[in-house]
Amino acid sequence: MPKLIIGLTGQLAAGKGAAAAYLEKKYQAQTFGFSTPLRDILKRLYLEEARANLANLSRILREQFGSDLISRVITEDIKHSSAEIVVLDGIRRLPDIALAKDLPGFNLVRVETDEQTRYQRLLGRSQNADDQQKTFAQFQADHQAEADRQIPQVMAMAQYTLTNNGTMEQLYQQIDDLITKLS
């Protein structure tokens, strides 16, 4: 039986990371994030893990090595994973999904959350160094950034939806139901 691959897409602070963390904890899934290689490079260069730095590094790497560079790396990581469930966290661009969608067992899942809830969640976390100082206008502008423009197109391709406007328990129940359906 092929491994179950769950690709998570959604707008900034929709709950993709929370869904991935739950899948790791409850189902021993292995997660590969599209930002992980970028964060690794920024750490190695002793640069701040801010959205602007992530976006710039991503742009430079894609310009030099192809728009599907990170997707190629993650696809190879998935192929070598021994986990029965693998999560691709943070699919943002059409090239991100181009290779993954052809992997056996791949399922694209969109995480939807209303804008105000996402903004409040962003302020409450510290994933990026600049998250907590962001105004609502800056948060909305982030959706127009190059790194985020294709997210609605990717979300439209999803086969399944998790609605994350309620409690964590409600999100977890939806994930459990999805795993049951896909197993």
Provide the whole-model pTM: 0.87
Out of 15-24, 98-107, 112-121, 145-154, least confident range:
145-154
Q: What pLDDT, on the 0 to 100 scale, is given for residue 127? A: 65
175 band by pLDDT with thresholds 50, 70 and 90: very high
Q: What pLDDT, on the 0 to 100 scale, is given for residue 125? A: 77
Domain that holds residue 68: 4-182
Helices 69-80 + 36-44 axis angle, to 10: 110
d(CA 43, CA 32) in angstroms, rounded, equals 17
98 band by pLDDT with thresholds 50, 70 and 90: confident
Domain containing residue 34: CATH number: 3.40.50.300
Domain count, the chain: 1
Alpha-carbon torsion (120, 123, 126, 131), positive or negative: positive
